[in-house]
Amino acid sequence: MEFRVEKTLANGLGRAGVIKTTHGEIKTPAFMAVGTRGFVRFIPADELHALGAQAMLSNGYHLRRQAAEIAMSGGLASWSPTDQPTEPWQGPTLTDSGGFQVMSLGSGLGKVVSMERERGVTNTAHTERLAKVTEEGVNFIDPFDHQPDFIGPEESMRIQCQIGADIHMAFDELTSLADTYEYNVEALQRTERWAERSLREHLKHRDDLGYRQNLYAVLQGGRWEDLRRQTARNLAAMRVDGAGFDGFGLGGAFLKEDLGEILRWCNEELPQEKPRHLLGLSHPDDILIGAEMGADTFDCVAPMREARHGKIYTLQGNYNLRKMTESGEPLAKDCDCATCQAGWTRGSLRALWRSGEVEKKQKYYNLASVHNLRFIVRLTEEVRAAIMGDYFTEYKGKFLAEYYGGQI
């Protein structure tokens, strides 16, 4: 993998660049579509390409039982599940380690991850969690079949090297907003030990499929500057047999107002010549702050999940499709997505969504997902153009003013 920075913002952090992987280039900043189980729900690969998606993120945790099968077919770029009609996504890919599930099945079980929720968030009681963290790794109960299972750094690396995405994530522990400083110190030190074990195991298998796979370390440390800066330095300096990480994942549960600062702390310490992936965020303000503070790639389930739940993105803000019963308006003004170009209106889309017929609903999920995903992909394209063209600050201000209507 090769990463080249083409232009840097005046703040010295934000930049535009190109990541070159075995399966293609990613022009950054870029948004990766989330295809947790190896495909993007309701959007076939050709439509993904058509809407400008440059890469897909899948999850080693969810694909752990198909990993050997994926390896047999040559890796994620030549595999798609037999029960899905889509062709494989042949472009660049990234897999997550399963670290997020440590939190979502553990301290965050049954809870909604939010960046704006009151600070009174609480952790799920230990006795109720489906995932338990030990030094070795994470013991968990599969929520679907209730079978006990275990993933540690070595397991995650072997799974990811069988899946064969271009970029892998080290196995990390994501803490929740409710965790204390003391717990974050403990979890962070463990995450760094896991990072080293991840790197060691990754190096053994990174060429197993006949092409070079790459590993990012993940920075945790919650909202504390000392933890963030120190872990950035530690992970940037980490070497196993002379080899370091190929890039860095920026992880954690944030409050919105803290995001920019946290990214600045991390990225001021990280080497500029390595790419950085901001894990799991995609609302426009998060992308704009992320890009400004030096994140190169993004991923998030929100555009498509919110589409499925009836929230439609527009430059003037979002709206809920529920209230658009009779509307003959387009989904969004001047939108270049395939759905809008095909002439779908708010009312006609709503009728599909609320039809109660499975096939129509699936059509709705496709059309709405394409629209929202294109919206976020277009945003990253425009951010890149703004960085390259030296007008990022004006672009950001104008976008936020129009999108949030002065509410931010």
Binding site for RNA (CB under 7 A): 34, 36, 41, 57, 59, 62, 96-97, 99-101, 103-105, 109-110, 112-117, 130, 143-144, 169, 172, 174, 218, 220, 249, 251-252, 256, 279-283, 286, 299-302, 304-306, 308-311, 320, 322-323, 325, 354, 356, 358, 361-362, 365
Q: Give yes or no: 96 in active site.
A: yes
In whole angstroms, the minimum distance from the beta carbon of 170 to RNA comes to 8
Catalytic-role residue among 296, 299, 334, 336:
299
Reduced 3-state DSSP string for the chain: CEEEEEEECCCCCCEEEEEEECCEEEEECEEEEECCCCCCCCCCHHHHHHCCCCCEEEECCCCHHHHHHHHHCCCHHHCCCCCCCCCCCCCCEEEECCHHHHHHCCCCCCCCCCCCCCCCCCCCCHHHCCEEECCCCEEEECCCCCCEEEECHHHHHHHHHHHCCCEEECCCCCCCCCCCHHHHHHHHHHHHHHHHHHHHHHHHHCCCCCCCCEEEEEECCCCCHHHHHHHHHHHHHCCECCECCCEEEECCCCCHHHHHHHHHHHHHHCCCCCCEEECCCCCHHHHHHHHHCCCCEEECCHHHHHHHCCEEEECCEEEEHHHCCCCCCECCCCCCCHHHHCCCEHHHHHHHHCCCCHHHHHHHHHHHHHHHHHHHHHHHHHHHHHHHCCCHHHHHHHHHHHHHCCCC
Cβ-based nearer residue to RNA, 183 or 388: 183
Cβ-based nearer residue to RNA, 278 or 335: 278
Catalytic-role residue among 96, 166, 179, 246:
96
Cβ-based nearer residue to RNA, 79 or 313: 313
In whole angstroms, the minimum distance from the beta carbon of 390 to RNA comes to 27
Cβ-based nearer residue to RNA, 6 or 122: 122
In whole angstroms, the minimum distance from the beta carbon of 71 to RNA comes to 20
In whole angstroms, the minimum distance from the beta carbon of 320 to RNA comes to 5
In whole angstroms, the minimum distance from the beta carbon of 342 to RNA comes to 21
In whole angstroms, the minimum distance from the beta carbon of 160 to RNA comes to 11
Cβ-based nearer residue to RNA, 5 or 113: 113
Cβ-based nearer residue to RNA, 141 or 315: 141
In whole angstroms, the minimum distance from the beta carbon of 310 to RNA comes to 6
Cβ-based nearer residue to RNA, 5 or 115: 115
Q: Give yes or no: 145 in active site.
A: no
Compute the distance between CA of residue 246 and CA of residue 218 in angstroms, rounded to an integer: 11
Token pair of 240, please? Answer: 């196993």
Q: Which active-site residues does the annotation give?
A: 96, 299
